[in-house]
Amino acid sequence: MRARVEIAVTGIVQGVGFRPFIYRLATRHGLVGFVRNMGDAGVQVVVEGDKRTIEKFIDSLRPEQPPLSRIDEIKVSWKPTTVEFTIFQVVPSETTGLGLSSVVPPDLALCDDCLREMLDPSDRRHNYPFITCVNCGPRFTIIEGLPYDRPRTSMKAFPLCTNCLHEYQDPPDRRYHAEPTCCPVCGPRMELYDRDEHRIDVADPFRETACLLDEGSIVAIKGIGGIHIASKTTDDEVLARLRGASNRPQQPFAIMSKNLETIRTFAEVNEAEAELLTSYRRPILVLKRSPNYMLSDLVAPGLDSVGVMLPYSGIHHLILRHGSDPAYVMTSANVPGLPMLVDNSEAKVKLRGAVDFFLLHNRLIVNRCDDSVVKLIDGKSAFLRRSRGYVPEPIKLSFRSERSVLAVGAELNASAAILVGDRCFVSQYIGNTTKVETLEYMRAAAERLMRLLNLKGVDVVAHDLHPNYATTRVASRMAKELGAKTFAAQHHHAHLCSLMVEHGLEKLVGIAADGVGYGSDGTIWGGEVMVAGLSSFERVGGLMSQRMPGGDLATRFPARMVAGILWQHLGREELERVLEEFCASGFKRGKRETSIVLRQLERDLNVFRTSSCGRVLDAVACLLGVCDERTYEGEPAIKLEAAASKGVTREVKLEPVIKKVDGMKIVDTSQLLADIISALRARAPRRHIAAAAQRVIARGLASIAIDTASSRGVGVVGGSGGVFYNWAITAAVRKEIEKAGLQFVQHELLPPGDGGISTGQAVVAARQHD
């Protein structure tokens, strides 16, 4: 019996070879009709033919779909036959939508087929870095609007030549409807410039760039989602110059190496890490240094790890194949705290004096996108930054909201998120929104994401509870423009909600541990145990609230936190001796500054209260001589983790002390620091003290969570917040929770840190307004 069916397919189905797949599948089944992209990133298929054959065709969609696609929903509508088709074809896209939620794919690493052609001297795309096909290349970073077709990408500036057009229109070809396809005749070009912006006329700019890097030059390289700064990794002098020029005295640099074999010469790589490194997503992966590590210590000062990625674009492959260094620094070209540079002219101005050469191309980057950063924590992937290769893939929710929500995140390491129906779409990494330029970037990224989702407005704009965050103020302005309500979500509740939606949970006992979050009582929280649902929470315990003399100065100079934590525990004279003995270098103006801090504590002037776990870790790092000044986010705690990795916890007897304060169970962190001082005076090795101190915090918080879960009848405990980037703390918490017969969950799809906050904000807002 002849039949006709209209099929709407949503998910990641545009830009991943889905239309060519449908063409081949329909032709194989002898069906007629058409396939086209739709304006909401979905795909519409209309076929006529034998009904049983059509049913087989539909049944084949999921199992045979292209490897980079993801079908979320297939909606089938049987219709009367019209006999209007004689063949099956790909027809022009439709700007209207299917009324279903879908999304464009992330940027994809260069595939093996394109790499082989690029390196083949007989191929017409030999040495051409912008080679691509339906299985690889830029997507999110070039798209301007939907449906995903070349005229709505930055490739519209490069009309296809005759040969490329033939491939683009040829169904069996790998470049059939590959929107970014191009070649040396019709596509973008790369050019090399010196520091004075004079073009350097060379036959092979990639070989020349590799030579310049090996000679010790610093080069700005425009890639897929932004501009990187590159240098050698084996020369202290070059790296010291780069650190000075980029104003990054201690922050670890990301590096790129040409293959896994080379990475294994300086870092340890297990099977799971190798799989991540070589995936089409190609994140930066934080790896342990190997015993034969030969790169400069200035790549990642004071750390036992290094952030490494493999080449993901033709540009990187062509440079690294000519280079002699085992790896090259490939760090974002931006002033600290500001967005990654993407514009050629701006780069030449802002990087003048910082780099020696510029390797730039003339393709517009529509959506800047930093490299993603991943670390395996206790066997699970944890995002330090979720961006290129993953964005804008949505997080699937276990509920469907009737309200659409835009969430603007917290303050540092921010992202934006849009919740529609049963999906939450998270933006690329935004960064430090205390900077005006970054705040504008956040706003622009959110608005562009709304356009990609075909949203004219939202019902709610969610933000952090902190009244002084710039994102709180911008949320109010955006809500007015969109005719939406605003909603303030408590920081740590948002952390735990982002964790719950990852695991499809409605309730858990959560440990929210980080550096800072505005509490419902107006103090700074950051070491909390909560009973949390998706719309409400109860704070039941955590770390002891401590004094924070000088406010933000205490986050930069952790010696101040040592003074604040020990203020009530020790007498003034003993505290002065401790600060002189263990923290003198932490007071940059010497004893005069120490006296000022102690007077502040005495008078309780400019002294804030915080239960932050991050500040306790900072104080421990300072006491142990690991770090006395924070020059980048999380530095003292990260360096403490590195120091502790060489230690053995049982070598130093430190135990958590838990007290009842105002009806809540509290871990006494003053006692922890006092015990550390005793261990130091007993000449215990500092690496063992560091390991034992981390374990005390983990066991203390886990103990409160276990007691709470048992008394409330909750079977799941979870951990969220930046402290859960710490492998040892996460593993120790998990061990305690599972030993008590409870399930422990941690982040795998979203960052444990503030990059996941926007999702949590959106979820709380949606549930409270539904």
DSSP letters spanning 594-632:
HHHHHHHHHHT-SEEEE--HHHHHHHHHHHTTS-SS-SS
Q: Do the strands 88-90 and 32-37 form a parallel or antiparallel pair, or are they unpaired?
A: parallel
Strands of 214-253, DSSP E: 219-222, 227-232
Q: Do the strands 743-745 and 524-533 form a parallel or antiparallel pair, or are they unpaired?
A: unpaired
- Tokens (6 digits) for 326: 């085992």
Strands of 310-368, DSSP E: 328-332, 357-361
pLDDT on residue 234: 98
Which residue from 28, 24, 80, 25 is spatially nearest to 51, judged by alpha carbons? 80
CB 539 within 8 A of CB 527: no
- With a cut of 70, list the residues of the chain below it in pLDDT: 97-102
> CB-hemisphere CA count at 13 Å for 296?
23
pTM: 0.94
Q: For tokens 């969430």, what's the residue?
A: 407
pLDDT on residue 122: 98
DSSP letters spanning 13-70:
-SSSSHHHHHHHHHHHTT-EEEEEEBTTS-EEEEEEEEHHHHHHHHHHHHHHS-TT-E
What is the arrangement of strands in the sheet containing 357-361, beginning at the earlier edge strand? 199-200, 190-194, 357-361, 219-222, 227-232, 328-332, 254-256, 305-309, 284-288, 373-377, 380-385
Single-letter amino acid code for the residue at 469: Y
Distance, first Cα to last Cα, the chain: 46
Please tell me the distance from the alpha carbon of residue 363 to that of residue 343, in angstroms, as a whole number: 10
Please tell me the distance from the alpha carbon of residue 176 to that of residue 183, in angstroms, as a whole number: 14
H or E element, residue 116 = helix 112-118
Phi, psi dihedral angles at 23 (to 5 degrees): -60, -50
CB 710 within 8 A of CB 680: no
Which residue from 353, 327, 354 is spatially nearest to 242, judged by alpha carbons? 354
What is the maximum alpha-carbon separation in the chain?
A: 95
Please tell me the distance from the alpha carbon of residue 161 to that of residue 186, in angstroms, as a whole number: 6
DSSP letters spanning 86-113:
SSEEE---BSS--SS-------BPPPHH
pLDDT on residue 148: 87
Strands of 264-303, DSSP E: 284-288
- Tokens (6 digits) for 447: 């608005």
pLDDT on residue 99: 56
Which residue from 207, 218, 205, 306 is spatially nearest to 262, judged by alpha carbons? 306
pLDDT on residue 335: 79
